[in-house]
Chain A
Amino acid sequence: MTPRVTLAVAVRVLTQLRRDHRTLAMLLVLPCLLQVLLWWIFDSTPLVFDRIGPALLAIFPFFVMFLVTSITTLRERSSGTLERLFTLPMGRLDFLCGYALAFGAVAAVQAALASGVAAGLLDLDVEGPLVLLIVVGVADAVLGTALGLFVSAFARTEFQAVQFLPAVVVPQILLCGLILPRDHLPPVLEAVANVLPLTYAVDAMEQLATTSGTGQVWRDVGIVAAFAIAALALGAVTLRRRTD
């Protein structure tokens, strides 16, 4: 891995995003708008929004980063640019970490906007330090990016890549505690939820909302980061310089 090449990939991905206004809007504005929508839905029962609001802060970045990354890397494969890069002095980790770095940077902006809207405009109660909302958001988004990079290896077309969304992302959303607190789930499902990474990002956000202690938040961030690193490592294994 060469820092020069990793950085070149990250800068290039950001330059592409800057030119693609629609994707940029989806990454930055859409999470805020969806949050406002849910706040509005629960207008007459604000307690519900207080319960699910923190989970949303974890779900949206994960969801959109997974989607955008899996499609973008698939485009690299189909356009021939990935094949060209593999004939150049670029390591597999340069490619993967370049993407993680670029989307991590976007995630920082996204998390700042989304938590600003939630805490500032929508009166979401946050007991913990606000800056940690951004830290959790970035770890969570990098996790989405890493999983997106990994699954794109198993898709041949953009259509197939999109199909991983209901297969990989939706079960995590259903089990993360959004619909029912995890300790109310049937024991088997609770056990499954406990091995899914999004659960820990949601737990971190819920901790920040309800207590001022940060011990468990950092533990959760550590688990999310470990999952992200594992997904990047798996991505490196499935990313082949030589293909059929």
Chain B
Amino acid sequence: MSTVEVAGLRVVRGGRVVLDGLDLTIGPGVTGLLGPSGCGKSTLLRSIVGVQRVAGGTVTVLGAPAGSAALRDRVGYQTQSSSVYDDLTVLENLRFFARVLGIGPAAADEAAASVDLGGHRDAVVGRLSGGQRSRVGLAVALLGSPELLVLDEPTVGLDPVLRRDLWALFHRIATAGTAVLVSSHVMDEAERCDDLLLMREGRIIAQGAPSAIKQRQGAPDIETAFLALVEGAE
């Protein structure tokens, strides 16, 4: 069974059709959703976690309709902003969201440790660096060991070392059994994914393992493959 099944998804925002009849399936492992800014990545992710108003089609997550009550402790989500409280400490943030999920405070300490923020537990989030702040958001999404993790551009603007560490973390999480869906507009992050969804102007132009996509287009890297796909379609 696939983790996410999208069929005929149509989203209209402010009179503009953002997604028009989108079909795709997402399985386990680390799936990358790659495409330029404004191509509809966030809208798709928001539809999968059930906070996007949709005009048509279905989104099924872990066998249930996206956003249904049964999914609310099974899917972890991080928006493009870190979506944490800047005026609370790392631990206060984690404890609050743990309480909302109905799990014990021990889970908050575990989540802080898993993103390597154990040493900053009592720091106020607003005083942390951008990378640390992003990791707090990730730790919140990890609370309660969700079966699907949806992360909207979690590595944007981070230094290369931190990005590498985060991708390693995504793979550790996936190995432990959680499906991870990560969006990015940076094409060179494609190589780090098990499965890729290339998106442009509201449509998925290719899906598959990075090596398979490159091979099909005869391209040395994903960026070249992306260009070949776009030019082939025009």
Contacts and interface: CB of A to CB of B under 8 A. Distances in A.
Answer yes or no: do A and B interact.
yes
21 contacts: A7-B99, A12-B92, A12-B96, A15-B88, A15-B92, A16-B88, A19-B88, A19-B124, A79-B83, A79-B86, A83-B51, A85-B100, A86-B51, A87-B51, A87-B67, A88-B101, A89-B73, A240-B53, A242-B53, A242-B67, A244-B52
Interface residues of B, number: 35
A3 to B, nearest CB: 11
Interface in B77-93: 77-88, 92
B50 A241 contact: yes
Contacts of B87: 16, 19-20
B84 to A, nearest CB: 7
Contacts of B69: 89
Contacts of A80: 79-83
Leading 6 A-B pairs by shortest Cβ distance: A80-B83, A80-B79, A8-B99, A84-B83, A80-B81, A89-B72
A243 B100 contact: no
B232 interface: no
Contact of B100 (A16, A88, A244): A88
Residue in A9, A86, A89 whose Cβ sees the most chain B Cβ within 10 Å: A89
A178 B100 CA distance: 43
A9 B97 CA distance: 9
Given A15-B88, A242-B67, A89 B80 contact: no
B75 interface: yes
A81, A83, A241, A243: most-surrounded residue (chain B CB, <10 A): A81
A8 B77 contact: no
Interface in A74-95: 79-81, 83-90
A81 B51 contact: no
A15 B91 CA distance: 12
B96 A8 contact: yes
B49 interface: yes
B83 A83 contact: yes
A184 interface: no
B13 interface: yes
B67 A244 contact: no
Contacts of A12: 85, 88, 92, 96
A243 B101 CA distance: 22
Interface in A53-91: 79-81, 83-90
Contacts of B157: none
B88 A84 contact: no
Contacts of B13: 244
B26 interface: no
A157 to B, nearest CB: 15
B67 A16 contact: no
Contacts of A89: 69, 72-73, 100-102
Given A19-B88, A19-B124, A80-B82, A243 B53 contact: yes
Interface string A3-28: 01101110110011001100000000
Contact of A241 (B14, B51, B81, B86): B51
Contacts of B72: 87-90
A13 B51 CA distance: 23
Contacts of A90: 72, 100
Nearest to A84: B83
B99 A5 contact: yes
B173 interface: no
Given A12-B88, A16-B85, A88-B97, A242 B77 contact: no
Interface centre among B51, B54, B67, B78 (most CB of A within 10 A): B51
B140 interface: yes
Contact of B102 (A4, A16, A84): A4
